[in-house]
Amino acid sequence: MYLRYWLPLMVSVSLASGECDLTTRSDSVVPGNVTGVSCQEDQTPDMTSSRCAIRCHAALDCRAAIAVCSSSACFCTHCADIFNIDFVAVGVESHLKGRVFVEYLAFPPARQISIPNGLSVGQVIRVRVKLASDSTSLKLLSQENAFTAFLIDFRFYSKSIVRNSNVQGWGLEERSKPHFNFSPGQEINVLYIVRSTEYVVYIDSVQFFVFEHREHDLHSIQTFSIDSIGTAGSLIFIFISD
Ligand SMILES: *[C@@H]1O[C@H](CO)[C@@H](O)[C@H](O)[C@H]1NC(C)=O
């Protein structure tokens, strides 16, 4: 029962191994506490974690369902916008509403994925990517792909993660980061939260940096692009909030 309701609603990817272990799926479930904006409690009787997620899916203004469960019951909150994710919170599981757009796409060549209706505040983008041998660049493109609104470039030769934009020419590079413990061929999760004034970016559940918006027309950012120098990069999946 659980699977039958759950799968078509929250997960649009094919299952490989571990079909029943939905709690470890990395696309729509985050083991952490989402802090949202415009949140309300859902106090339906017999609340479970999956029911909390399903009811979020059916609701118009819900992008995240947060379930805090004890042995007797779950406390369910629905939020329209995502502001923050506390990945170390215990006893709480958050479900993100959205879709997986592509899976297992090798690059180079550069790959582009359309973001329906462009970006909006409160949205999350999650990508799982296998880093290429030399450098891997993730870009958000705006104005019919004429501009790079936000570049994240992983460079092994300098052990750097360079962020920049090319809106009216290339801007200032930002390079601060907590660490660079990555190796070529490694799979990592990159999660963007789109806030009103900046992006917050987590890599494997660690907040790595924020990047203030330089392209302020978020709606015009309608393409995600991924490319690399070197071999063996692949986009395992991209998940975008509705
Ligand atoms: C989750 O976050 C909310 C809002 O920040 C907070 O009130 C709540 O205590 C947190 N819950 C857990 C279990 O960490």
Residue 86 pLDDT more than 70? yes
Domain co-membership, 110 together with 229? yes
pLDDT at 30: 77
Residue identifier of the C-alpha nearest atom 5 of ligand 1: 35
- Residue 183 CB neighbours (<10 A): 9
Residue identifier of the C-alpha nearest atom 9 of ligand 1: 33
pLDDT at 27: 58
pLDDT tens figures, 5-30: 333 334 333 333 333 333 334 457 77
Is there an atom of ligand 1 within 6 Å of 35 CB? yes
Domain co-membership, 85 together with 198? no
Distances (CA, A) of 36 to 40, 122, 155, 174, 225: 10, 8, 33, 27, 27
**198 forms bridges with which residues in the sheet?**
212
Is there an atom of ligand 1 within 6 Å of 166 CB? no
Q: Is the distance from CB of 188 to CB of 204 less than 8 angstroms?
A: yes
CA 77 – ligand 1 centroid, Å: 11
Mean pLDDT of the chain, nearest integer? 87
**Domain residue limits at 163:** 100-241
Confidence of residue 233 (pLDDT cuts 50, 70, 90): very high
What mean pLDDT do residues 197-204 have? 97
Domain co-membership, 115 together with 231? yes
What mean pLDDT do residues 222-240 have? 93
Number of domains in the chain: 2
Confidence of residue 196 (pLDDT cuts 50, 70, 90): very high
Q: Which of 59, 74, 96 is the last residue of a domain?
A: 96
Domain co-membership, 65 together with 108? no
Q: Is the distance from CB of 79 to CB of 62 less than 8 angstroms?
A: yes
**Which of residues 46 and 150 earns the better pLDDT score?**
150
Domain co-membership, 33 together with 147? no
Domain co-membership, 59 together with 109? no
What is the crossing angle of helices 49-58 and 2-10, to 10°?
Answer: 40
Domain co-membership, 141 together with 52? no
Domain co-membership, 227 together with 126? yes
Q: Which of 65, 96, 127 is the last residue of a domain?
A: 96
pLDDT tens figures, 26-39: 457 777 899 999 99
Tell me what percent of the residues of the chain surpass a pLDDT of 70: 89
Is there an atom of ligand 1 within 6 Å of 106 CB? no
Domain co-membership, 137 together with 234? yes
Torsion-angle region of 46 (φ positive above 0: left; ψ -120 to 50: alpha; else: beta): left
Q: Is the distance from CB of 112 to CB of 145 less than 8 angstroms?
A: yes
Domain co-membership, 45 together with 85? yes
Domain co-membership, 92 together with 115? no
What mean pLDDT do residues 66-75 have? 89
Domain co-membership, 91 together with 122? no
pTM for the full predicted model: 0.86
